[in-house]
């Protein structure tokens, strides 16, 4: 059995209270193997993706507040270096490379867990929100929920699949579409959206990408979007989509963190269409004509991250080269600047933090 030397201290990015600047702490304590509870594991992280959700957690602008002080992050990949004593039937072992997701743990015994909705478990623990996450060198996670990472995908490529990829994969999976159907992706050039373009293409769907800016346009078309709509330039998005699709899209997966992307969806969906609500604006409401929602037999479904099986499937597709994360690598100390880029909407693709860089 492998033995790992675990330091007493590490580097971590800490938010002391909601809205505070990131504080890089080089002497943050690391849990020892003896301190781990049964079912817990300690993972030495190679890298962590940075997600718009992490920004919301740091700002504290969601209806449910994050714990503070907080170490954010929920897209980590690394090696298991310790497992808590008295952990029974662990599906992972020391030395395994695993991923840490938004859903850190759940009870696995309630109705939601039994029905594959582990993310809705009332006892769910959330990485970088209710428990400390992956913006640190060592993270405590849970053996039943870490995701095994196949050998044929690098850690930095796998990181963003663990949240952005899993989230859009599940939404598209349940979007009630068939190969050849039209799917609209507002926010298509962002961290979630650019992966949604690819997972939609894997399922044989025809993609209309909606976003703004030349960099995002180039990225979306390169990844396989059939049509591009710049919402800053298009005067009538509903008419444009209705024209392109000859009557309306079959589905829309809204990943943008603003209410605007939701408001138009019911109007440009064809009868029987499905709106998948994914992006989480903190205070916006979903406004839709009840009359046309009923008259057109529209389905509106909330899709919240994914379960353990969704994660395995999404990672497997990426490991086989069918989905590629477009990302820029930065050191952990640049996290504050990353958040500023997210606020300004200037980040195309994804940011991955290299936790080996000091």
156 close to 46: Cβ distance less than 8 angstroms: yes
pLDDT tens track for 309-328: 999 999 999 999 999 988 99
pLDDT at site 189? 87
pLDDT digits (tens, 9 = 90+) for 177-198: 999 999 999 989 888 899 999 9
What is the C-alpha separation between 347 and 252, in angstroms, rounded?
22
Local structure of residue 24 (DSSP, 8 states)? E
Q: What integer pLDDT is reported at residue 330 of this predicted model? A: 95
* pLDDT value of residue 307: 95
Q: Higher-confidence residue: 192 or 258? A: 192
Burial 258-283 (b: 16+ CB within 10 A, else e): eeebbebbbbbbbeebbbbbbbebee
pLDDT confidence of residue 257: 66
Q: Which residues contact 126 (CB under 8 A, 6 or more apart)?
A: 74, 102, 103, 104
> Confidence band (pLDDT; 50, 70, 90) for 348?
low
Among 268-277, 319-328, 344-353, the minimum mean pLDDT is found in 344-353
Residue whose token pair is 């298009």: 234
9-163+306-354 is a CATH 3.30.70.20 domain:
no
pLDDT digit string, tens, across residues 74-92: 999 999 999 999 999 999 9
Q: Is the pLDDT of residue 62 over 80?
A: yes
Per-residue CA distances from 135 to 145, 246, 306 (Å): 18, 46, 21
**How much is the pLDDT for 161?**
95
- What is residue 203's predicted lDDT score, i.e. its pLDDT? 97
349 pLDDT tier (thresholds 50, 70, 90): low
271, pLDDT greater than 80: yes
- Predicted pLDDT of residue 279: 81
**% of residues, the chain, pLDDT over 90:** 81
**3-state SS assignment for residue 30:** coil
Listed residue (56, 18, 120, 15) closest to 279, CA to CA: 56
Q: Output DSSP code: residue 157.
A: H
CA geometry: angle at 272 spanning 270 and 273, to 5°?
A: 60
Residue 231: band (very low, low, confident or very high) from pLDDT cuts 50, 70, 90:
very high
Pick the closest to residue 149 from 77, 93, 80, 48 (CA basis).
77
Of 131-140, 240-249, 286-295, the range with the lowest mean pLDDT is 286-295
Q: Which of 139, 14, 152, 126 is nearest to 70 (CA)?
A: 14
pLDDT band at 299 (very low <50, low <70, confident <90, very high): very high
pLDDT score, position 256: 72
pLDDT of amino acid 5: 93
* pLDDT at site 248: 97
- The class (CATH top level) of 175-302 is alpha beta
Q: Left (φ > 0), alpha (ψ -120 to 50) or beta: where does 23 sit?
A: beta
CATH 3.90.180.10 residue ranges in the chain?
9-163+306-354
End-to-end CA distance of the chain: 30
Give pLDDT, residue 255: 83
Query: Would you say residue 2 has pLDDT above 70?
Result: no
Supply the DSSP string of 253-314, one letter for each residue: EE--SSTHHHHTHHHHEEEEEEEEE----SS------HHHHHHTT-EEEE--S--HHHHHHH
Task: Give the Cβ contact number of residue 241 at 10 Å.
Answer: 26
Q: Which residue spans of the chain are classified as CATH 3.40.50.720?
A: 175-302
What per-residue confidence (pLDDT) applies to 358? 57
Torsion-angle region of 41 (φ positive above 0: left; ψ -120 to 50: alpha; else: beta): beta
Mean pLDDT of the chain: 93
What is the arithmetic mean of pLDDT over 29-42? 97
Q: Are 254 and 237 in contact (CB under 8 A)?
A: no
């Amino acid at each position: 059995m492998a033995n790992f030397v675990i330091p007493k201290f590490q580097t971590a990015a800490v938010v002391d209270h909601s809205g505070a600047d990131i504080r890089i702490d080089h002497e943050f304590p690391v849990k020892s193997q003896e301190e781990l509870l049964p079912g817990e594991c300690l993972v030495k992280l190679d890298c962590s993706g940075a997600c718009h959700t992490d920004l919301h957690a740091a700002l504290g602008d969601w209806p449910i507040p994050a714990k503070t002080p907080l170490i954010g992050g929920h897209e980590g990949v690394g090696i298991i270096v310790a497992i808590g004593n008295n952990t029974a039937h662990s599906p992972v072992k020391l030395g395994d490379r695993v991923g840490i997701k938004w859903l850190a743990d759940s009870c696995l015994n309630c109705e939601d867990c039994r029905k594959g909705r582990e993310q809705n478990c009332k006892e769910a623990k959330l990485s970088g929100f209710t428990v400390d996450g992956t913006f640190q060198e060592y993270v405590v996670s849970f053996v039943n929920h870490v995701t095994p990472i196949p050998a044929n995908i690098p850690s930095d490529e796998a990181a963003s699949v663990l949240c952005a990829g899993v989230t859009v994969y599940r939404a598209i999976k349940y979007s009630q579409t068939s190969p050849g159907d039209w799917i609209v992706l507002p926010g298509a050039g962002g961290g979630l959206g650019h992966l949604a373009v690819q997972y939609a293409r894997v399922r044989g769907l025809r993609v209309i990408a909606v976003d703004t800016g030349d960099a995002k346009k180039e990225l979306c078309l390169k990844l396989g979007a059939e049509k591009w709509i710049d919402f800053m330039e298009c005067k009538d998005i509903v008419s444009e989509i209705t024209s392109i699709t000859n009557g309306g899209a079959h589905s829309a997966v809204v990943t943008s963190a603003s209410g605007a992307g939701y408001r138009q969806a019911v109007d440009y969906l064809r009868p029987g269409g499905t709106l998948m609500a994914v992006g989480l604006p903190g205070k916006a409401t979903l406004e839709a004509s009840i009359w046309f929602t009923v008259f057109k037999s529209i389905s509106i479904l909330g899709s919240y991250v994914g379960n353990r099986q969704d994660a395995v499937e999404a990672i497997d597709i990426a490991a086989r080269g069918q989905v590629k994360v477009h990302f820029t690598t930065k050191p952990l100390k640049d996290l504050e600047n990353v958040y500023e880029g997210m606020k300004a909407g200037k980040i195309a693709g994804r940011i991955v933090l290299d936790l080996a860089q000091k």
